[in-house]
Amino acid sequence: MNRFLVILFLLIMSFGVLPGCTKKEPEDTVQIRFVAWRPNQPEIWKEIIAIFHRENPSIKIVHEIGPHSSTAFHDLLTQKLKNKSKDVDVFFMDVIWPPEFAAAGWAMGLEDIFIPEERDAFLPRTILANTYQGRIYGVPMFIDSGLLYYRKDLLDQYGFQPPLTWNELVLQAQAIVKEEREAGNVIEGFTAQFKQYEGLVCDMMEFILSNNGQIIDANSKVVIAEKKAIEAVRFVRDEIIGKIASQGVLSYQEPESLDLFMQGHAVFMRNWPYAWSHANDPKISRIVGKVGIAKLPHFNGGESYSTLGGWQLGISNYSENKKEAWKFIKFLTSARIQKIYAIKAGKAPTRKAVYADKEVIQYNPHFVDMKEVFLAAYPRPRSPLYPAISNVLQRYFSKAISDPESDIESEAVQASAEIEKLVSLVP
């Protein structure tokens, strides 16, 4: 008897299961490897994938989670695709990647299965972002656009309305911070995403556009070194960094800026739509019910602009299970799943019909006012070489705003010359 127990113990230690109790997948199960960035709410993804498994027992989803940063996730994913890895079937793409992935031959063209009638159900800008040289390479899962969050209670207390211009925002932030600090409260005027990564490009583009500047104009001319663009960059350096925002924002991505705001330590915040549900979650936020949301400000004589963001789902050209991969993408981008993600994660849907869902609006009342922002969100330069263009922009913006003595004009001219070389490489 003792000898039998010893053998049994060794079997358990070796295989982790009792003899005869190994759980096997059905022989006809197809495995789909889904490569995604690290989400803010992993439990929701587990729930969604569990639903898919219940409804599709012959397909097994292997969910590989990469870095949270768009830049770092891009490096991971492109390395796999360059190597024609079989470890990728379905993958997430940031809104700026479809031209690159299409030109490289990594993403499968979807026009034969993602037909025009189905595309019409989505917000137009999200479809445009996934289109390159007349073909479509991704299905939009959710849309992002930059928004201004503010402490509604503090603005009311000090008699302010949400600022329409960046100068108004600075003045309001200064006044509120002065009074709050004198009362013993630790607070900053503004927080956003100013670390050297893709989020910095999004934030800075909003400042530039709202001052009637651009990075690359409609004729593909690089104009980042022109007066209006330089004025906007100088404003960020001289009026925001180290002034209404701490020097610490130079290391902030979305989570860090959101955490500061949720803990009650910032008056204003620039962030994406998902931040609303976090800021109003009593489990993690100290400012529930005290949050307002508005369009981003603009400069005098300019208009408010929000950078188009969001994530799309693509199929690897090297996948051996494209049919099952498409089935998974159709499921993830369905109105039913977009509704779950809108309610539980605060993500803005890409399907137009979901904005008419009463339950979605109940949980996200700001969607009513912000749909106009989502429809008009401004895309970053659409180019298969965008990652290289972004790299130049990230270095330029970071150096320009982090160094109080930086020569912004000369830095802009140098960045412009580098981008012009890249733009000239595209036929």
> Mean pLDDT of successive 10-residue segments in the chain (427 residues)?
51 44 64 91 93 97 89 92 95 95 97 97 93 96 94 98 98 98 97 96 97 93 97 98 97 97 98 92 96 96 94 97 98 97 92 95 87 85 92 98 96 98 90
Q: Are the CB atoms for 350 and 143 separated by under 8 Å?
A: yes
- CB 9: neighbour CB atoms within 10 A? 10
- CB 244: neighbour CB atoms within 10 A? 23
What does the alpha-carbon distance between residue 202 and residue 195 come to, in Å, rounded to a whole number? 11
Q: Report the relative pairing of strands 308-315 and 90-94 from DSSP bridges.
A: antiparallel
- Which residues on neighbouring strands pair with residue 400, listed in sequence order? none
DSSP 384: T
DSSP 241: B
Name the nearest CA neighbour of 142 among 273, 310, 372: 310
Say what the pTM is.
0.82
What does the alpha-carbon distance between residue 307 and residue 254 come to, in Å, rounded to a whole number? 14
Is 283 exposed, middle or buried (CB count within 10 Å of its CB: 0-12, 13-18, 19+)?
A: exposed
Q: According to the model, what pLDDT value does residue 18 have?
A: 43
Q: According to the model, what pLDDT value does residue 15 have?
A: 42
Residue 30: its H or E element:
strand 30-36
- C-alpha 344 chain-centroid distance: 17
Task: Return the axis-axis angle of helices 386-402 and 198-209, rounded to nearest 10°.
Answer: 70
Q: Are the CB atoms for 38 and 68 separated by under 8 Å?
A: yes
- C-alpha 184 chain-centroid distance: 35
Name the nearest CA neighbour of 37 among 384, 270, 269, 313: 313
What does the alpha-carbon distance between residue 383 and residue 238 come to, in Å, rounded to a whole number? 32
What does the alpha-carbon distance between residue 383 and residue 98 come to, in Å, rounded to a whole number? 9
What does the alpha-carbon distance between residue 121 and residue 152 come to, in Å, rounded to a whole number? 35
- Residue length of the chain: 427
Residues 269, 275, 277, CA angle at the centre, nearest 5°?
Answer: 135
Q: According to the model, what pLDDT value does residue 250 have?
A: 98
Question: Any alpha helices (H) in 266-379, and if so which ranges?
Answer: 275-279, 322-332, 335-345, 358-363, 366-376
What does the alpha-carbon distance between residue 313 and residue 233 come to, in Å, rounded to a whole number? 33
Name the nearest CA neighbour of 175 among 257, 242, 244: 244
Q: Is 149 helix (H, G, I), strand (E, B) or coil?
A: strand
Q: According to the model, what pLDDT value does residue 201 have?
A: 97
Q: According to the model, what pLDDT value does residue 16 have?
A: 44
Q: Are the CB atoms for 37 and 68 separated by under 8 Å?
A: yes
Identity at 390, one-letter amino acid code: S
Phi then psi for 56, rounded to 5 degrees?
-135, 70
Q: Are the CB atoms for 325 and 86 separated by under 8 Å?
A: no
233's CB contacts (< 8 A; 6+ apart) are 204, 207, 208, 397, 400, 401, 408, 412
